[in-house]
Amino acid sequence: MVEVPVRRAAPARATASAPPGAAALLAPGQGAQRPGQLAPWLELPGAREQLGELSEAAGVDLVAAGTTWSAEQILPTQVAQPLLVATSLLVGRELLRDGAPGFLAGHSVGEWTAAALAGVLDDASALRLVAARGRAMAACCDGRSGMSVVLGGEAGEVLDAVARNGLLAANHNGAGQLVVGGPDEALRALEEDRPAGSLVRRLPVAGAFHTPAMAGAVPVLRAAADGVLAADPVHPLLSNADGAVVTTGPEVLRRLVAQVAGPVRWDLCTAAMTRAGTPAFVELPPAGALSGLVRRALPRARVLAVRGPEDLPAAAQLLGGS
């Protein structure tokens, strides 16, 4: 294998509080991928060189995957996850040249993007571990389980129905959205037993992610992460586990590994940013899902989904607190 240069993690500094007036920078998770998502970004300075290094680290031709591959080709976990992280990292690095976020937060695999942008991991290490994560999660998929999203309904009734049908809450997304995981027959039962005022929709994923069904991926990922440098964050970094700001690199990495089999508490991340008075939110590409959640949860917030290079000046202004 060709040895590739890596970007070293930046020196640590205090990160307990967010810069006043700066926007939060959000990184999307699996399901946000779309064909051609990298095409608008290839003209950024150094983009092809960066993507070449990240492709080597991930073992995936990211430029081809992000420009010419079909939706079916980028759907597998072992492709979708590194493609998502590489895309968000490429654009996030561009934005951080001129501004600092109030908070960094990522949903599921987007947490790895956020951790790299916070300086915990260098980009090549992040992609290598994300690729290992995707492969390990794919290996846990048995073809008989999956996930569904529950939209609306009274929260207590939704959780009761989920438990009654033998399912587990995987992604607490807030804004009336809960993603659940479990056996196919239990997911079908929930569709018949859906709570009043709710909609249940099956998601096109291969397994019950962020549930104990992924427990086998944890030791694999832990072994892959053994010996990886994890520097302390240089920007306030929120954890999917509980919405807390994590200030040490080893703890960030420990949580990232464990999160494969644990629920995503995006609702708690949103609550933490709200309590801190975060004035605006910028979602990295491929953007849309997290922006929608923020708009529903915080209808008065300024929200920008970065979809193309034309959105970069406005995003930079928000990160600069203006």
List the CATH number of the domain containing 119: 3.40.366.10
Residue that finishes a domain, picked among 172, 202, 232: 202
- CATH number of the domain within which 195 lies: 3.30.70.250
Please count the other Cβ atoms lying within 10 Å of the Cβ belonging to residue 184: 14
Q: Given this model, what pLDDT does residue 2 score?
A: 27
Whether 4 is covered by a domain: the verdict is no
User: d(Cα 53, Cα 59) in Å, to the nearest integer?
Assistant: 10
Whether 97 is covered by a domain: the verdict is yes
Q: Are residues 31 and 72 in the same domain?
A: yes
**DSSP of 279-311:** -EEEEPSS-SHHHHHHHHH-TTSEEEE--SGGG
Q: Are residues 287 and 176 in the same domain?
A: no
User: d(Cα 308, Cα 287) in Å, to the nearest integer?
Assistant: 10
Q: Are residues 128 and 269 in the same domain?
A: yes
Q: Are residues 56 and 155 in the same domain?
A: no
Two tokens, residue 62: 């990211």
Q: Which of 55, 125, 145, 210 is catalytic?
A: 210
Q: Are residues 189 and 295 in the same domain?
A: no
Q: Are residues 73 and 221 in the same domain?
A: yes
Two tokens, residue 228: 């990886």
Q: Given this model, what pLDDT does residue 138 score?
A: 94
Q: Are residues 44 and 92 in the same domain?
A: yes
Structural domain that includes position 173:
145-202
Asked about 125 being catalytic, the answer comes back as no
Q: Which of 55, 88, 107, 108 is catalytic?
A: 108
- From residue 207, alpha-carbon distances to 34, 129, 170, 210, 308 in Å are 19, 20, 11, 9, 31
Whether 40 is covered by a domain: the verdict is yes
Whether 244 is covered by a domain: the verdict is yes
Q: Given this model, what pLDDT does residue 322 score?
A: 62
Residues of the chain with pLDDT under 70: 1-20, 321-322
Q: Are residues 54 and 81 in the same domain?
A: yes
Question: Residues near 263 by Cβ (< 8 Å), separated by ≥ 6?
Answer: 168, 169, 170, 171, 172, 210, 211
Whether 12 is covered by a domain: the verdict is no
Asked about 172 being catalytic, the answer comes back as no
Q: Given this model, what pLDDT does residue 286 score?
A: 96
Q: Are residues 233 and 300 in the same domain?
A: yes
Q: Given this model, what pLDDT does residue 129 score?
A: 98
Whether 245 is covered by a domain: the verdict is yes
Contact status, residue 261 vs residue 146, Cβ threshold 8 Å: no
Residue that finishes a domain, picked among 177, 202, 227: 202
Q: Are residues 151 and 136 in the same domain?
A: no
Q: Are residues 68 and 195 in the same domain?
A: no
Q: Are residues 122 and 163 in the same domain?
A: no
Q: Given this model, what pLDDT does residue 115 score?
A: 98
Residue that finishes a domain, picked among 178, 202, 226: 202
Whether 35 is covered by a domain: the verdict is yes
pTM of the model: 0.91
Whether 162 is covered by a domain: the verdict is yes
Number of domains in the chain: 2
